[in-house]
């Protein structure tokens, strides 16, 4: 069907009057928006839904959320026959998130599924925790993470508290796609099956994550560490300050202008702690109050951005790669000092596009480091496979996500804020900042410069451009990048690794994914990956070189930055 035909077919179904009026307005007044809204169905991908809110089959609304939930309900009832099926539902501060959460609860309960619905907005990691705590078979969180305010999303979880992975993801997708009419969605809620979740679950979660403190000594000594925290109008405000205070920190200062949850995110362009702009108010407060550390979480509080005093005395933002490297180094160093490091059972995990400095640190401590595809569901899958005598002691990714333990099975900004604060307190007790610690790491393991460039291409045309760029890189891969010869290519879509010097090929033992990686003779790693949740293609640059002294670290970093700009030109990104 054309977009127009699909819109007209929706008008013939039993939908709300205001929704009907919205479709009619598109049919009469806005052909381009009509096309974008109905040219396809909002795809239920391997992680769920994410899209712009509005009327249409390609938009987040009551009916697309209802369709997703009906499909998930159908699959759950097939996957767990004869059992009482239970799910947990949480939501963030976005516009319509509460409405979508209640819609989701209505459909689940209408299908005879018991629902635990958080009474108010809560961080995504608490949902992951609640699923396992309550013995649920599944869960859903309504969030679009750090996307712009026009977006919302629907993330589906399985009984281990992780986002769904094969075969369940594909089976759910098939069930959702099997629904061909809105009349197949049962919206008639059974209120007897919907149970509110409140402070009791908060307490259990807080107890679990505050117990993760590796070494409270630094906290006791530097309990008045000057911490600036911003929730960027999101869910972190419900638990992050409380967690820090329970750990013993007595000087936690919240950015008041961003304290109130608000789906319009009025003080920022994008509610993304990866972006310096989103931290403008927090940075001002940190500099004005002579703070020690700044932390900011995204709307659903699964990612955290930080800044610390640099060598100039002003606050400087740290990248996700620097953060995960620091946290891995701190965790392993402290555990070794305290005698709680066991190299035969403990392990860490990172994603393939995250800095290899993480691997180098793990290797030095003789702790296994597993690599996996982007997405914490893959980290959680490894944890599930290794459960038993083995202990996961930390993992993360370059995009500001970290998991300090297996208490939650998704990235957890609440627990991460606790670990960062502990780490900063320990550094201060030694007369150091986090930047000083990073210099120590660079001198020991080599200077690593990791950067990411993303190119946004929206709509139908944008999707084609991104697809064509990946085809171009596969058809005509670069032979040199940044003046260094490309010696190896990994294509995760073909599950192949090719050594260009020997011609040898071998299979990659990863799930199929649209990712390309190029490795150079100088040790650089360059990755290309279309985003699975945003209209973007991302390029990751990971370069390394040795520095002989602390004074030489900055010069080495500058040279590596210049090299990245050469690689950007080699890939044609400066003209695209």
| C-alpha–C-alpha distance, residues 342 and 371, integer Å | 20
What is the β-pairing status of strands 227-230 and 252-254? parallel
What span, in angstroms and rounded, lies between the C-alpha atoms of 40 and 2? 9
Question: Which is it for the CA torsion 549, 541, 279, 302, positive or negative?
Answer: negative
Backbone angles phi, psi at 410, to 5 degrees: -150, 165
CA distance 276 to 254: 18
Indicate which residue of 145, 230, 524, 527 is catalytic: 145
| Residue 169 vs residues 49, 65, 164, 318, 511: alpha-carbon distances, Å | 12, 16, 5, 34, 13
User: Number of C-alpha atoms within 13 angstroms, CB side, residue 18?
Assistant: 4
Degrees to nearest 5, angle at CA 158 with 153 and 161: 90
Q: Which residues contact 542 (CB under 8 A, 6 or more apart)?
A: 321, 353, 355, 356, 448, 449, 450, 524, 525, 526, 527
CA distance 203 to 213: 17
Q: What is the token pair recorded at 383?
A: 């944890």
DSSP-assigned states of every residue in 439-477: HHHHHHH-EEEEEEEEEE--HHHHHHHHHHHHHHHHHS-
Backbone angles phi and psi of 216, in degrees to 5: -70, -5
CA distance 355 to 37: 38
Sheet containing 391-397: which strands, arranged edge to edge? Answer: 369-372, 346-351, 391-397, 401-403
Whether residue 167 has a cis bond before it, omega within 30° of 0 = yes
Is 145 tagged catalytic?
yes
Instruction: Outline where DSSP puts E strands in 180-288.
Output: 194-197, 227-230, 252-254
Angle at 62 between CA 58 and CA 65, to 5 degrees: 65
Sign of CA dihedral 17, 91, 204, 224: negative
Distance CA 109, CA 131 (A): 17
CB atoms within 10 A of CB 472: 12
Cβ pair 169, 44 in contact under 8 A:
no
List the one residue out of 472, 470, 449 whose CA is nearest residue 536.
Answer: 470
Can you give 501-556 as a three-state secondary structure string? CCCCEEECCCCCCCCEEEEECCCCEEEEEECCCCCEEEEEEEEEECCCCHHHHHHH
With H, G, I as helix, E, B as strand and everything else as coil, classify residue 408: coil
**Residue 285, preceding peptide bond in cis (omega within 30° of 0):** no
Question: Which residue numbers are catalytic?
Answer: 145
């Amino acid at each position: 069907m054309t977009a127009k035909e699909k819109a007209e077919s929706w008008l013939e179904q039993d939908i709300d009057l205001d929704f009907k009026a919205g479709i009619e307005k598109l049919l009469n007044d806005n052909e381009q928006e009509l096309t974008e809204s109905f040219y396809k169905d909002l795809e239920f991908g391997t992680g769920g839904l994410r899209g712009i809110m509005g009327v249409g089959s390609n938009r987040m609304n009551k009916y697309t959320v209802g369709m997703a939930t009906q499909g998930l309900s159908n699959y759950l009832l097939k996957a767990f026959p004869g059992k009482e099926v239970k799910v947990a539902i949480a939501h963030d501060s976005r516009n319509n998130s509460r409405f979508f959460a209640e819609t989701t609860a209505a459909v689940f309960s209408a299908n005879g599924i018991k629902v635990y619905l958080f009474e108010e907005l809560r961080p995504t990691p608490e949902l992951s925790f609640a699923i396992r705590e309550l013995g649920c078979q599944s869960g859903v969180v309504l969030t679009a993470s750090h996307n712009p305010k026009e977006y919302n999303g629907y993330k589906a979880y399985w009984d281990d508290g992780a986002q769904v992975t094969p075969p369940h993801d594909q089976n759910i997708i098939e069930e959702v796609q099997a629904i061909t009419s809105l009349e197949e969605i049962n919206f008639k809620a059974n209120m007897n099956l919907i149970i509110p979740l409140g402070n009791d679950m908060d307490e259990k979660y807080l107890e679990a994550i505050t117990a993760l403190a590796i070494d409270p000594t630094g906290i006791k000594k530097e309990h008045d560490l000057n911490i600036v925290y911003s929730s960027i109008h999101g869910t972190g405000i419900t638990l992050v300050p409380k967690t820090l205070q329970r750990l013993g920190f007595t000087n936690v200062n919240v950015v008041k202008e961003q304290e109130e949850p608000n789906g319009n995110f009025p003080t920022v362009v994008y509610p993304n702690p990866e972006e310096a702009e989103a931290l403008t108010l927090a940075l001002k407060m940190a500099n004005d109050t002579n703070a020690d550390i700044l932390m900011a979480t995204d709307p659903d509080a699964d990612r955290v951005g930080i800044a610390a005093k640099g060598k100039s005395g002003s606050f400087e933002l740290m990248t996700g790669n620097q953060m995960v490297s620091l946290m891995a180094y701190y965790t392993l160093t402290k555990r070794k000092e305290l005698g709680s490091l066991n190299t035969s059972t403990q392990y860490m995990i990172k994603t393939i596009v995250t800095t290899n400095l993480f691997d180098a640190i793990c290797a030095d401590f003789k702790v296994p480091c597993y690599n996996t595809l982007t997405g914490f569901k893959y980290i959680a899958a490894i944890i599930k496979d290794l459960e038993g005598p083995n202990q996961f002691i930390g993992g993360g990714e370059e995009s500001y996500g970290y998991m300090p333990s297996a208490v939650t099975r998704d990235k957890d900004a609440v627990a991460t804020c606790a670990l960062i604060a502990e780490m900063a307190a320990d550094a201060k007790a030694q007369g150091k900042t986090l930047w000083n610690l990073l210099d120590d790491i660079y001198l020991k393991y080599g200077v690593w410069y990791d950067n990411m460039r993303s190119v946004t291409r929206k709509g139908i045309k944008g999707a084609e451009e991104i697809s064509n760029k990946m085809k171009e890189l596969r058809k005509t891969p670069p032979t040199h990048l940044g003046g260094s010869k490309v010696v190896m290519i990994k294509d995760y879509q073909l599950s192949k690794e090719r050594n260009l010097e020997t011609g040898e090929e071998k299979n990659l033992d990863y799930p199929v994914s649209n990712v390309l990686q190029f490795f150079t003779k100088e040790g650089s790693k360059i990755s290309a990956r279309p985003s699975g949740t945003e209209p973007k293609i991302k390029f990751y640059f990971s370069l390394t070189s040795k520095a002989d002294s602390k004074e030489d670290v900055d010069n080495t970093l500058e040279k590596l930055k210049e090299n990245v700009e050469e690689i950007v030109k080699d890939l044609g990104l400066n003209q695209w």
